[in-house]
């Protein structure tokens, strides 16, 4: 246990990319890390690197020693872990229990709450490498904080201590919150990979040099234009005020040409088989938002959607 006033003895359960970094950040804020658990060799190495001097322990031992238990295990493993520790009688009254699963609130910690623990759900909206580089990136990082009203300030204070910015997310909104992050970040990675693949197929030797400045400018513009009105809708209703390209110009012929070329690439290279479908789905979404945002007319939208319809049986693209 930590003896310093206001300081906590922190136990890290699951020293993966997130747990070891957050444990290190809490220690830098003055808390004492009293133990950490990790199954893999990588986890043990992270403990040695990011939490030097911290003893590697079994999970029940970590929980027994800690005033603040940081549960940074895979989302699907969390419910069974919490219930299992409750069955062992491991949870302690007044103990703070924090998990970092984005799609889950504090309901998953009900067995710990029943034993008198204080449940908090804190999710950092960033991608972790599991190295010391992440510590600097925590500064200014948004954390979704979910907790009962009386203990909400505890979660907010912990986030501020590691340099983050707390944002309160209601229990029932956690899945939607996490879906938004996954859709934006994970699918962006897929989209960039597909664009780079198509550029390479077009003979561009360094696709990253072409995409870097273009996508950085597009992302900056899109993020700056993604504010919301009081009712939660995107500014400009459609959220495409910064969108450029053939869809917002109503250039159905250009879109059709794109689809023909992408289908041909997919035919030559099986690794690109998903590219036409992705282009089609996102272009349909861009068409709908462009129409809602009054960037194109109804007639232009209809023409675009005709071109973007699923290919006919046999896999042939519409040549129009």
Which pLDDT does position 236 carry in this prediction? 47
Which pLDDT does position 240 carry in this prediction? 77
Tell me the three state secondary structure of residue 195.
helix
**Torsion angle in degrees (nearest 10) through CA of 193, 139, 230, 103:** 60
How is residue 56 annotated by DSSP? B
List CB contacts of 227: < 8 A, sequence separation 6 or more.
234, 235
Cα 128 off chain centre by? 10
Which pLDDT does position 6 carry in this prediction? 67
Which pLDDT does position 223 carry in this prediction? 87
**How far apart are the C-alpha atoms of 160 and 157, rounded to whole Å?**
5
**How far apart are the C-alpha atoms of 273 and 266, rounded to whole Å?**
5
| Series of mean pLDDT values for 10-residue runs along the chain (320 residues) | 67 96 97 96 95 97 98 96 98 98 97 98 95 96 98 97 98 96 93 97 97 94 72 54 91 95 96 96 95 95 96 56
Which pLDDT does position 133 carry in this prediction? 95
Which pLDDT does position 312 carry in this prediction? 72
């Amino acid at each position: 246990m930590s003896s310093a006033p206001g300081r906590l003895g922190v136990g890290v359960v699951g020293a993966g990319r997130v747990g070891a970094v957050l444990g290190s950040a809490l220690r830098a804020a003055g808390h004492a890390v009293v133990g950490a658990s990790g199954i893999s060799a990588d986890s043990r190495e992270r403990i040695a690197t990011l939490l030097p001097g911290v003893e590697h322990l079994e999970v029940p031992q970590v929980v027994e020693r800690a005033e603040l238990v940081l549960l940074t295990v895979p989302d699907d493993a969390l419910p069974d872990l919490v219930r299992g520790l409750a069955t062992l009688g491991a949870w302690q009254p007044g103990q703070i229990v924090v998990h970092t699963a984005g799609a889950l609130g504090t309901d998953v910690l009900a067995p710990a709450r029943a034993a008198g623990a204080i449940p908090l759900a804190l999710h950092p909206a960033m991608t972790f490498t599991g190295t010391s580089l992440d510590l600097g990136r925590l500064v200014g990082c948004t954390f979704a904080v979910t907790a009962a009203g009386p203990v909400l300030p505890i979660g907010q204070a912990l986030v501020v201590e590691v340099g983050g910015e707390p944002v309160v997310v209601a229990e029932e909104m956690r899945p939607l919150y996490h879906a938004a992050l996954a859709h934006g970040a994970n699918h962006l990675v897929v989209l960039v990979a597909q664009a780079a693949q198509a550029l390479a197929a077009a003979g561009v030797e360094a696709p990253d040099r072409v995409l870097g400045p273009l996508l950085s400018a597009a992302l900056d513009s899109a993020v700056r234009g993604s504010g919301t009105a009081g009712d939660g809708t995107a500014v400009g209703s459609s959220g495409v005020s910064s969108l450029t390209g053939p869809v917002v110009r109503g250039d159905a012929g250009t879109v059709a040409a794109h689809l023909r070329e992408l289908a041909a690439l997919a035919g030559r290279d099986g690794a690109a088989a998903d590219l036409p479908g992705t282009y089609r789905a996102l272009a349909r979404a861009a068409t709908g938002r462009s129409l809602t945002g009054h960037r194109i007319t109804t007639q232009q939208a209809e023409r675009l959607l005709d071109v973007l319809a699923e290919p006919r049986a046999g896999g042939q693209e519409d040549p129009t």
